[in-house]
């Protein structure tokens, strides 16, 4: 990993920790004492949320820990409400750094193997701000199910009971059935990005 990439990742995490309410210092991309303390406080709160709201399969847990605490609570409530006899519901994607988002954007483009999986470059997806997660449905044999109708069924099961969550299945321009997110204060990704990068509040 290059020094530049490391700096970018630390800067991203500082923005995340600031949005989570644990970091109130300069966004300098340097992992110092304050960043370290904020990281510890974030992990402690995440563990406490897990104890209070329930724990899930390993893959979901790996992704839930990448979300802001408010979104972690929403995601855990989501999984509890989504429990059903037909499919196991797992969270298969959570927060991505801008660099990870850019890498995803390249899939299916620039001569890379199809399909295209996202229309968002780094900094242009709600997955970049700690508030969004994607679910996957798995049948009794552990097989990944991708049929829209089943994702719609799960959304209809959960959404009436969880008012602070938005569903990508309701989007007009790019319908995204596996996508859910904590409702931000504005639909504008550009505004959310600016708030994220300057330590503002957006959820």
- Residues at the contact surface with Zn ion, assessed by CB under 5 A: 134, 179
Taking the complex as a whole, how short is the minimal distance between the CB of residue 94 and Zn ion, in angstroms? 9
- Token duo for residue 8: 């970018």
Q: Which is nearer to Zn ion, 88 or 134 (CB)?
A: 134
> Could you tell me the smallest distance in angstroms from the CB atom of residue 53 to Zn ion?
21
Using the minimum distance from each CB to Zn ion, give the nearer residue, 35 or 125: 125
* Residue number of the CB atom closest to Zn ion: 179
For every residue of 11-52, DSSP letters joined together read: HHHHHHHHHTTS--S---S---HHHHHHHHHHHHHHHHHHHH
Paired tokens of 176: 């995204």
Judge contact between 165 and 71, C-beta under 8 A: no
The nearest distance, CB 125 to Zn ion, in angstroms, is 7
Residue 80 phi, psi dihedral angles, 5° rounding: -65, -45
Nearer residue to Zn ion within complex by CB, 76 or 127 = 127
Closest to Zn ion by CB, 38 vs 154, is 154
Please report how many Cα atoms fall inside a 13 Å half-sphere around the Cα of residue 112, on the Cβ side.
11
Write the CB contacts of 146 (distance below 8 Å, at least 6 apart in sequence).
Answer: 137
> Smallest distance from the beta carbon of 38 to Zn ion, in angstroms?
26
């Amino acid at each position: 990993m290059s020094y530049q990439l490391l700096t970018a990742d630390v800067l991203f995490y500082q923005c995340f920790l600031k949005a989570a309410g644990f970091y109130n210092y300069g966004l300098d991309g340097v992992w110092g004492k304050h960043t370290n303390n904020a990281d510890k406080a974030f992990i402690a709160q995440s563990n406490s949320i897990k104890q209070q709201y329930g724990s899930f399969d390993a893959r979901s847990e790996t992704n839930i820990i990448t979300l802001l605490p408010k979104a972690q609570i929403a995601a855990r409530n989501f999984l509890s409400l989504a429990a059903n006899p037909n499919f196991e519901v797992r969270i298969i994607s959570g927060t991505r750094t801008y660099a990870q988002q850019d890498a995803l954007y390249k899939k299916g483009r620039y001569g890379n193997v199809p399909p295209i999986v996202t229309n968002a470059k780094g900094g242009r997806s709600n997955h970049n701000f700690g508030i969004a997660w994607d679910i996957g449905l798995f049948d009794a044999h552990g097989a990944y199910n991708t049929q829209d109708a089943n994702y719609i069924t799960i959304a209809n099961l959960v959404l009436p009971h969880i008012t602070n969550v938005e569903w990508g299945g309701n989007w007009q321009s790019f319908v995204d059935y596996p996508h859910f997110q904590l409702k931000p204060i504005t639909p504008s990704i550009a505004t959310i990005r600016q708030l994220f990068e300057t330590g503002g509040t957006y959820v």
